[in-house]
Amino acid sequence: MKTASLPLLAFVVTGMLAAQDPAGPVKTSPRLKEEIRASLPPFTPPPPKVLDQPHDSGTETDPDLFALPKFTVKEKRPPGHDPDVWLTDKAVEQKALAAYKQSLTDLEWALNSWYIPIIGSSPSARARGSYENQKKMSELQRVHRLFNAISNVTPGAAAELEQERVKMDQAEYWRSRPAGDGRAK
């Protein structure tokens, strides 16, 4: 028998012996149970929950009419104005590349579709960046149109909203900027 099999055999035999002799639950004497119960307060079950009952009004005498209790639905709100939220990353990349290719002439596309990996970025990366910039610009235009509509009603509110938007843009920039870009806050 090899030397490695001896510890394994001892381990298996110990495990089998331990499995034959399970330790049972500790039993408490009836006298001790009574002493414990005497020191505890008596148990009173909680009252049953009262469900919302429909209001009975005297005008509803129709026997086929049944009033249900009020019910509140708390659901997460679907995302807002981003049309790409339901698309996969590959579909967004294809959409961005198609929009980027449409924005270039044939000569520009032929020149920009070639790149050296160490020096430049790929056309799909440039397309994705261009697409993201276009989305941000359209969102800014939508917000400015909204601010103009608000300023027609209350002139001071639009200026306050614009200040808050600038603060939000700055906070987003500081969260997403690369570390050590040298700009002071």
Using left for φ > 0, alpha for ψ between -120 and 50, and beta otherwise, residue 149 falls in: alpha
Closest CA to 185 of 175, 174, 176: 174
| 58 in any annotated domain | no
Range of the domain at 139: 89-176
Q: How far is Cα 141 from Cα 134, in angstroms, rounded to an integer?
A: 11
| 54 in any annotated domain | no
| 126 in any annotated domain | yes
Q: Examine the pLDDT at 124 and tell me if it is beyond 80.
A: yes
| 148 in any annotated domain | yes
Identify the residue with better confidence: 7 or 19: 7
| 64 in any annotated domain | no
% of the chain beyond a pLDDT of 90: 0
Task: Over range 2-26, report the average pLDDT.
Answer: 68
pLDDT of residue 27: 80
pLDDT of residue 143: 80
pLDDT of residue 36: 87
- 151 in Cβ contact with 158 (< 8 Å): yes
- Domains contained in the chain, number: 1
pLDDT of residue 155: 76
| 110 in any annotated domain | yes
CA 2 vs. chain centroid, Å, equals: 56
For 45-88, how does the pLDDT look when each residue is reduced to its tens digit (9 = 90+)? 888 877 666 555 555 667 777 777 888 878 877 666 677 777 88
Q: How far is Cα 92 from Cα 99, in angstroms, rounded to an integer?
A: 10
